[in-house]
Amino acid sequence: MKVGAFATIEEGVELGDFCSVASGAVIKSGVTAGCHNEFCEHAVVGGAPQHAARPLEVGRVRIGDHNVFREHVTIHRALKPDASTSVGSHNYVMAGAHFGHDAIVGSNCIFANSALLGGHVIVEDRAFVSGAVAVHQFCRIGRLAMVGGHARVVQDVPPYMLVDGQTGCVVGLNVVGLRRSGHSSEDITALKSAYRVIYRRGLPWRDVLDVLDREFEAGPVAHLAGFLSSGSRGFTQERRAPPSTTLRLRVPEDDATIIRARAG
């Protein structure tokens, strides 16, 4: 293990083999991490939960293997003694990102600069959260979803969806991510069909779930259906384009014609 100058590792911390703790980083009591984790300069992992009613005894932070936590990343311990803030493996967390208390982060995720997760947020495997995204407490971000920069996430983001940063709405499937993760063309076709069921048919919500269960019994749509059948905050809606409009451009000759007509 490599420990830089002025780094702090408090009593009771458990770090696996080949971890590195850079200069100024702080790993506080209550943290358990696996092997090959990199804690960069001034990252603070294991801080007390930010909660007005924080108990005297709080939970832990549990981290898997092969994660990178860049400069000034903060991860807080769970609120209750028997709970943990959980981070999986092979995640890349860029500078200034924050994971609130009781957050659960899967594996192979990317969090860009200043991505913020509130308390009890759940992020599934292979999600991509762009820079300056703020995720409200108790929200979920599904597998292979991609959230655009500066988005405000106040409802669950279903798996495999692409969220526009400006509006915070779904704008389609994360097709590039699906292909890069090895999903077949058949999987993507099935997800496109499921997307139309969810966002385009105008069905009542219970009918949406029934159609997904009946028509898609396996594959990624089955996971999508399971995600949609749970949750407490509702789901991010699709961005709809405004009705098309026709603009009439007026040229100087038109103005002259109008003036002559009025004078006559």
Are 85 and 78 in contact by the 8 Å Cβ rule? The answer is: yes
102 catalytic residue (yes or no): yes
231 catalytic residue (yes or no): no
* Residues whose CB falls within 8 Å of the CB of residue 140, separated by 6 or more in sequence, listed in order: 121, 122, 123, 124, 156, 157, 227, 231, 233
For 11-14, the CB contacts below 8 A with 24+ separation are: 13/46
CA 197-201-205 angle, 5° bins: 70
Are 174 and 156 in contact by the 8 Å Cβ rule? The answer is: no
Tell me how far apart the alpha carbons of residues 194 and 212 are, in angstroms, rounded to a whole number: 7
* Residues whose CB falls within 8 Å of the CB of residue 246, separated by 6 or more in sequence, listed in order: none
16 catalytic residue (yes or no): no
Are 76 and 70 in contact by the 8 Å Cβ rule? The answer is: no
Q: Which of 101, 120, 183, 223 is catalytic?
A: 101
The DSSP call for residue 232 is S
CA–centroid distance for 184 within its chain: 23
* Residues whose CB falls within 8 Å of the CB of residue 228, separated by 6 or more in sequence, listed in order: 158, 198, 208, 209, 212, 235
Q: Which of 119, 131, 142, 168 is catalytic?
A: 119
Q: Which of 34, 98, 102, 125 is catalytic?
A: 102
Q: Left if phi > 0, otherwise alpha if psi is -120 to 50, otherwise beta: which for 150?
A: left
Task: Show which residues are catalytic.
Answer: 101-102, 119
